Amino acid sequence: MLRNGAGGNRSSHQQKHHGTDPAYATVVVMDLDDAQAVVARHALDDYYVDHYRGMERMYLASLFEYLAEYEPTRVLEIGPGWGTTAAWLVARGHDVTVIDHMPVGKFMAQSLVDELGVAYVHSDIEDAAAPENADLGTFDVVIMTQVIHHLAWRPDRALRHVRELMGERGILVSSVLDRQDYPDLDSAFGGNWMDVPEWRSTERCEDTVKCMYTEQDFRQLLENQFRVVEVWKPTDSTVLFAKSANSSRSRLGRMVELARGFKPVGTRP
């Protein structure tokens, strides 16, 4: 299972977290099943195993396939949910921070946070990039999957905050439900992200899904904040993925070449 490094036969969740220290650059070959099994052991109720785990299968394998190209680095995940991606990232040797507006224990269990050694920041990405005293610095890779369509306020505000958390050559990997695969799903503000109310301009809408996206809408939202945007849809998925960056010299340029197997549906140079 272990590919190299100083971890011996310990499994990923038994290892101490050593960030990007090359002396501990243990990379564990963990697949989606393994990551979900780790999370299921800590899940605080049945919802994860009975429902959410099945939903994750529509997109996380594709995400992991893409992220597997990255060497261990500083990664931020915004909206980790139950922590499946975080578990997989830690197993790959990444130094992982997560931000969620829900306190630890709502979705991600404290015991999982402890076992993985991730930094859990309780904060609303729509409010600010991070709490004033958090001193998070910037990240090479930011992941924000299945969060944007739940944002209560116009999503360009949250993405501005995400940009602040990205290093000069950082990359954002995000995803949304593809509207064409959910023709009957009700969204509070329909299919145009600009119709979602501006930050605190009205009462907060509590509907689960605020806005749905086509490939074109998703790209337009991201291009509103980032210079380089590529949207793709993995085969057999109901989710649109995007990678976005602000520098044409970012890792995105190189990753586009490496991301063989994905069919880009739109690229802006």
Ligand X SMILES: C[S@@+](CC[C@H](N)C(=O)[O-])C[C@H]1O[C@@H](n2cnc3c(N)ncnc32)[C@H](O)[C@@H]1O
Give the interface with ligand X as residue ranges (CB under 6 A). Answer: 56, 78-81, 99-102, 107, 124-126, 145-147, 150-151
The smaller minimum CB distance to ligand X, of residues 79 and 167, is found at 79
Q: How far is the CB of 56 from ligand X (least distance, A)?
A: 5
**Closest CB to ligand X belongs to which residue?**
79
Q: How far is the CB of 85 from ligand X (least distance, A)?
A: 6
The smaller minimum CB distance to ligand X, of residues 18 and 99, is found at 99
Distance CA 128, CA 153 (A): 13
The smaller minimum CB distance to ligand X, of residues 28 and 173, is found at 173
Q: How far is the CB of 53 from ligand X (least distance, A)?
A: 10
Q: How far is the CB of 255 from ligand X (least distance, A)?
A: 19
Q: How far is the CB of 11 from ligand X (least distance, A)?
A: 23
The smaller minimum CB distance to ligand X, of residues 12 and 145, is found at 145
The smaller minimum CB distance to ligand X, of residues 107 and 232, is found at 107
Q: How far is the CB of 100 from ligand X (least distance, A)?
A: 4
The smaller minimum CB distance to ligand X, of residues 100 and 215, is found at 100
